[in-house]
Amino acid sequence: MSPSLAYRTVHGEAWCGDSLDLLARLDDNSVNLVMTSPPFALLRKKEYGNEDQHDYIDWLAQFAALVHRKLTADGSFVLDLGGAYQKGTPTRSLYNFRIPIRFCDDLGFFLAEDFYWYNPAKLPSPIEWVNKRKIRVKDAVNTVWWFSKTEWPKADVTKVLAPYSDRMKKLLADPDAFYKAKDRPSGHDIGMGFGKDNGGAIPSNLLQIPNTDSNGGYLRGCKTVGGKGHPARFPPKLPEFFIKMLTEPGDLVVDIFAGSNTAGQVAESLGRRWQAFELSRDYLAASAFRFLDPGAGDDELRSIHAAIANGETLDLRGQFGLLATAAE
């Protein structure tokens, strides 16, 4: 299947086709960030497609090798991966831990940092070991690997500062009354400048982000056209964190397994250029709802969905105001 453009917006384009072909078309050293969540290596086949655990790493490495070529010298590759169990036993697969070893040893990536996305709203799973036999706790954390092309990727943590705790706010209000400076056993001297308000706290690598969207424009559009949302969407706050930290306005963000194109929506709202690659035109047709004015009527939604699903290329720039935001 030859790649085809599904739609374009002010800042980006959504393409239908094999990501290997689409990646190959990009200029080398041109992409600032690849942020994606590929189909996981699960025991059961999903409707969006997923590889067997045995072949998964080889399959994913094909894409990663191309990503490495396309990244700028200070670019990053952020990969969201869920865990899995071995077939028939309550023991974990190691596939998602073998991936950083393979990528770094064989493909030339560096592991800039490992993150862990905790989704408190995740349903108990796997059913057999958690719900029925009750011998394992629910799996509520995904690993998110931040790879870089060199040891010094572009990054600015001040763009993703976390809100201060109540305790820290009291310290900032009156440092001398609330805290007496002293050396920690680790050797850290936390007296110097500890009471300075930097606008927020440095975040940790544990990202607590619920995946609970149930009434946004995307799902409303899916309901209107009689479809269902992509079953493996990540919440906008996840790509938002990495796009803010690892890119600047005007940089190019690419999602090679776009699904419902959450990353594209966030990149659009943050003024980043973006490209989304997805094999399913049906998923791309529904993803267009993320870029439409919330006031778009049902007939307009059906018309846009049908046109993209039937192979047309739509220009969404300004058609309905592009009022979608990363907060939706």
Check if 38 is active-site.
yes
Three-class SS of the chain = CCCEEEEECCCEEEEECCHHHHHHHCCCCCEEEEEECCCCCCCCCCCCCCCCHHHHHHHHHHHHHHHHHHEEEEEEEEEEECCCECCCCCCECCHHHHHHHHHHHHCCCEEEEEEEEECCCCCCCCHHHHHHCCCCCCCCEEEEEEEECCCCCCCCHHHHCECCCHHHHHHHHCHHHHCCCCECCCCCECCCCCCCCCCCECCCCEEECCCCCCCCHHHHHHHHCCCCCCCCCCCCHHHHHHHHHHCCCCCEEEECCCCCCHHHHHHHHCCCEEEEEECCHHHHHHHHHHHCCCCCCHHHHHHHHHHHHCCCCEECCCCCCCCCCCCC
Name the active-site residue from 19, 39, 76, 80.
Answer: 80
Name the active-site residue from 19, 38, 139, 236.
Answer: 38
Check if 213 is active-site.
no
Check if 260 is active-site.
no
Name the active-site residue from 19, 37, 76, 148.
Answer: 37
- Positions marked catalytic: 37-38, 80
